[in-house]
Structure 1
């Protein structure tokens, strides 16, 4: 008989959004963090039995927020670059203490979709941000930092682009 105990998964139990230090508790319905995707190019040359995909950088990072508030501070950010956003979540496994997850994001609000105006129904805004910065921390440990402008891609504590920055003098 095995002594391995099955663990239940951590689940997001609660979250909050902050813009410029202002809390949007009770007004942010959902946050969709960016999908992180490497841009790969297929390479096959003589002496190879098949293709190998090469890392050619990253695809664009996009985050989406759904807000149920007509806060003019958000509307006035349309087209403004370097908007800092912080999403704080609490993930918890059954019977365990909650762990903080913090997503730091920075980018430009490039799309704003206003919901239908209808009496007696919730009024939502869907905000789309094109990001140039994303950082993921859980339980006070940084697992990922991607800074497009400064050519940083640190995953699990390893900066995957350090030698490239050195090679080009950055």
Structure 2
């Protein structure tokens, strides 16, 4: 019988942001990639003894990240209409030693900057919230999920495939 060991364990992260030199290694302490959630509606039509939920689309996506620096280049991403491309990188490893990479490429607008509490002798952390208009999740360079405001793919398969044609998208 094959051993079942933990796999794809995220062990380290980094963030790349435009206008900031290189990656945010040493600056970004935490990243929350977009939460993907379906919009569900409850239906109970004639002859149904109980309602069922039907997927109608997807909810708004956001990401957040925390930095230990108050970098002016990052603060400039707060500008109106300043859609930004960001990439969250992750290093993963299985318990058997197999290594993996993941990245979440996203485009959106920084909508909130929280400078946190400033106190002598403590690490200052600053958090950023961003609405994400489009994004793509890759694991080992394989596209897993991709979305735009108009379309959504999972494992390379478009969800609601007839919709784009019907709406001439």
TM range (shorter): over 0.9
**1:8-157 to 2 correspondences below 5 Å:** 8-20=6-18, 22-78=22-78, 79-148=80-149, 151-157=150-156
Q: How many residues align structurally?
A: 166
Contact 1:63 1:130 in 2 (8 A): yes
Structure 1 vs Structure 2 CA RMSD: 1.4
Displacement, 1:38? 0.7
| Contact persistence 1:104–1:135 (CA under 8 A) | yes
> Does the CA-based 8 Å contact 1:135-1:144 persist in structure 2?
yes
Partners of 2:97 and 2:148 in 1: CA distance: 33
Listed as ranges, the gaps of 5+ residues in structure 1 are none
Q: Which runs of 5+ in 2 are unaligned?
A: none
TM-score, length basis structure 2:
0.92
Structure-1 residue corresponding to 2:157: 158
Moved more, 98-107 or 70-79: 70-79
The alpha-carbon deviation at position 89 of structure 1 amounts to 0.8
Which runs of at least 4 in structure 1 moved beyond 6 Å after TM superposition? none
Give the conservation status (yes or no) of the 8 Å contact 2:37–2:59: yes
Question: Offset of 1:80 from its aligned partner?
Answer: 3.9
Query: Residue 16 of structure 1 contacts residue 88 of structure 1 at CA under 8 Å; is this kept in 2?
Result: yes
Question: 1:80·1:109 contact (CA, 8 Å) conserved in 2?
Answer: no
